[in-house]
Amino acid sequence: MNAPRDATIDLQLTVNGHEAKARVEARLSLCDLLRDSLHLTGTHAGCEHGVCGACTVLLDGQPVRACITLAAACDGRAVTTVEGLSGPLVDRLRAAFHAEHALQCGYCTPGMLVSAVDLLERKPGAEEDEIRRDMSGNLCRCTGYVGIVRAIRSCAQG
Which CATH number goes with the domain that contains 23? 3.10.20.30
Distance CA 77, CA 39 (A): 19
> Do 72 and 35 have their domain in common?
yes
Per-residue pLDDT of the chain (158 residues; tens, 9 = 90+): 565 667 999 999 999 999 999 999 999 999 999 999 999 999 999 999 999 999 999 999 999 999 999 999 999 999 999 999 999 999 999 999 999 999 999 999 999 999 999 999 999 999 999 999 999 999 998 888 999 999 999 999 75
- Provide the number of structural domains found in the chain: 2
Single out the residue in 66, 84, 102 at which a domain terminates: 84
Helix boundaries (H) for 100-157: 109-122, 128-134, 146-155
Q: For the stretch 61-71, what's the b/e string if a residue is b when 16 or more beta carbons lie within 10 angstroms of its beta carbon?
A: eebbbbbebbb
Distance CA 154, CA 78 (A): 29
> Do 98 and 150 have their domain in common?
yes
> Do 106 and 76 have their domain in common?
no
- Helix (H, G, I), strand (E, B), or coil: what is residue 17? coil
> Do 101 and 57 have their domain in common?
no
CA atoms within 13 A on the CB side of 121: 16
> Do 19 and 77 have their domain in common?
yes
Residue 102: closest CA among 116, 118, 89, 88: 116
Question: What is the domain extent for residue 104?
Answer: 88-155
**Model confidence, pTM:** 0.93
